[in-house]
Structure 1
Amino acid sequence: MHKFFQKLLDTKHHYFLSFNLKYCILLFPLAYAIVRYNLAAGVEWSQLPLYITNKALAMSSVLALLFAARAMLRGCRKSARSLGKMALHCAWLHVLLTLVLLPAGYYPKLSLFVQTSGGEQVMQMASFSATANLALLFGLLCAYLFFVISNGQVNGLQKQILLYLQICTLAYHLLFLGGYSWFAPGSWPAYLPPITLLSFTCVLLLAYFHQKVGKKR
C-alpha cells in the first residue's frame, strides 16, 4: 500500500512539474513580447490579441521543442512526446495567425518597395521581398516537416534526418526573418533582443541536444 501511494505521489509530482513547465513556456514569451513591443516599443495594446500573441506563440513553439529534446536526452519519452505536441499546436497557431496578419500589412519589412517616377518609395502589399520569400518558404517547409514527423509514420534514421532538416529550416526561417536586426542592438527597444534572435539561440541548443540524443542511440 505504501508503494502504491508513493507511486501515486510521484505521478502527481511529475504532472505538476510538467504542467508548470508548459505554463512557463506559454507565459514567458508572452510576457517578454508585451514588455518589448507594448511597453518599450510603444505598440498599441489593441494589437495584443493577434500581433503580439503571434510573436509569443512562435517562441513558445521553439521553447517547447527545446525542452522536448532535453526530456528525450534524459530518457523521459512521455514528457518529450507531450512537449512535442505542444510545440506542434503553437506552431500551427502561429502559421494560422500569420496568414491572417500578412494581408493586413502587419509586416512591412517583408513587403516589396518600388520607386515611383517622383522618387517616392511605395510598399506593394501583394508582393514580398526576396528575403521575405525565403523566410516564408523555410517557415512553411518547417511546418510541413513538423506535420510529417508528428504523423507517426516515420521512425529510426528517417525520423532523425527529418528532425535535422526541420531544425535547419527553422534556423533559416528565423535568420531570413529577423537576421537584419540581430547585430544592431542600438535599434532594439530598451536594448531587449528580438524574439527571432532568442529563438535562433534556442534552435542552436536544440541542434546540440538532438546531436547528443543521436549519440546515445
Structure 2
Amino acid sequence: MNETTETKKSSTIALVLWTMAFCFGYSILRYHIFGPVPWKDLSFFTLNKSICFTSLVLLIMNFGFGPAKNLGLRIPDSWLNARMAIGIIAFLLVLLHAFMSLLLFSPAVYPQFFEVDSKMTLNAGLSMLGGVIAFIILWGYNLSFKTTLREDMAFIAFITSRKFLLWAMLFTGAHLVFMGYSGWLNPQGWHGGMPPISLVSFALFLAGYVINFLGRE
C-alpha cells in the first residue's frame, strides 16, 4: 500500500470517526442526559437519529469539499481524496437510517406526525416524500460512478451536473424542514437548551448548499 493510499484511508477513518463521535454525543446529551428519552431507547431510537445526523454531515463533506476548494478555502488534499469513500459510507448510513425509520415510524413513537385517526399529517407526508426522492437521487448518483456503459454517459452527465445537484439538494432540505420546523420555533422545549438535531442539520445543510451554489462548477 503506497503512502497516498494510506493517507487517504487515514483521513477517511478520522473524518468519519470524529463525525460519528460528535453526532452520537450530541444525540445522547440532548435526548438522554438533558431530555426525557429513557436509556432503553438508546439502541434504536437515538441510534437512528445519530445515524441520520452523521450521514448528513458526511454528505455535506462529500459534496462540499470540492466547491469549498474552488472558493479558495483551504481544504487538505487528503480530505479531497477521501470524498468518494466518505460518500459511500454516507450512502450506507442513509440506507440504514431509511430501514430503521420504517420500523420506528408509528403514532406510538412519533405522535406529532399522525392525526387522531392514525393517518400521517401533511408535514409528515411532505417530509417523507422529500426524503424518498432525496434517497433515490443519492442512489442514482452513487450508481453513476459504478457504470462504464457508453449508453449511460448522458445519464451520468445529467445527474452529476451542477444544475441538477443544486435542485436535488433541495429535497434533503425539504425533508428536514417539514420533519422538524415546529420544534425549531419553540426554544423553551429544547432539551438542555440544545437545538433539535433537525435544526442543526438544516443549518449545516444550508451552509453546504451555499458553498455548492457559489463554488460548484
**Could you state the TM-score of these two structures normalised by the residue count of structure 2?**
0.83
Aligned to 1:146: 138
Report the identity percentage: 21
Distance in 2 between residues matched to 1:72 and 1:85, nearest whole Å: 16
Say if 1:69 and 1:209, in contact at 8 Å, map to a contact too.
no
Task: Provide the alpha-carbon RMSD of the alignment.
Answer: 2.0
Note if 1:168 corresponds to 2:170: yes
1:165: Cα distance to partner?
2.8
Contact 1:65–1:206 (8 Å) recurs in 2: no
Please give the secondary structure, in 1, of the residue aligned with 2:23.
helix
Q: C-alpha offsets along residues 144-181 of structure 1, whole Å, 9 cap, x if unaligned? A: 11111111154335423332233100101110000111
- Alpha-carbon distance change, 210 to 189 in structure 1, aligned in 2, over 3 angstroms: same
1:192 is matched with which residue?
A: 194
2:29 to 27, 35, 51: 35
Q: Is the 8 A contact 2:130 2:172 kept in 1?
A: yes
Deviations along 1:3-43, whole A, 9 cap, x unmatched? xxxx9445434422221111112221111101000111121
1:135 counterpart = 2:127: yes
* CA displacement at 1:134 relative to structure 2: 0.7
Structure 2 gaps of 5+ residues are 70-76, 145-151
The match for 2:115 is 112
Q: 2:32·2:38 contact (CA, 8 Å) conserved in 1?
A: yes
What's the CA shift string for 1:58-103, capped at 9, x where partnerless?
A: 1111100111123323476541111111111111111100000013
Q: In the aligned structure 1, how far is the partner of 2:47 from the partner of 2:107?
A: 16
Matched, 1:103 2:106: yes
Q: Which residue of 2 aligns with 1:51?
A: 45
Contact 1:149 1:162 (C-alpha < 8 Å) held by counterparts? no
Paired with 1:165 and 1:57, the residues of 2 have a C-alpha distance of: 24
Paired amino acid for 1:140: V
Mapped contact 2:107–2:113 kept (Cα < 8 A)? no
Q: Structure 1 or 2: larger strand share?
A: 1
Which sections of structure 1, spanning at least 5 residues, go unmatched?
A: 1-6, 114-123
Shift of the 10–84 alpha-carbon distance from structure 1 to 2, 3 Å rule, reads closer
Structure with more relative contact order (C-alpha pairs < 8 Å, separation 6 or more): 2
Partners of 2:18 and 2:40 lie apart in 1 by 24
- State the 4+ residue runs in structure 1 displaced beyond 4 angstroms: 7-11
Match of 1:120 in 2: none
Q: CA 1:79–1:177 in 2, change beyond 3 Å: closer, same or farther?
A: same
Instruction: Give the whole-Å Cα distance in 1 for the aligned partners of 2:101 and 2:65.
Output: 29
Max radius of gyration: which structure? 1
Q: How many correspondences in the alignment?
A: 198
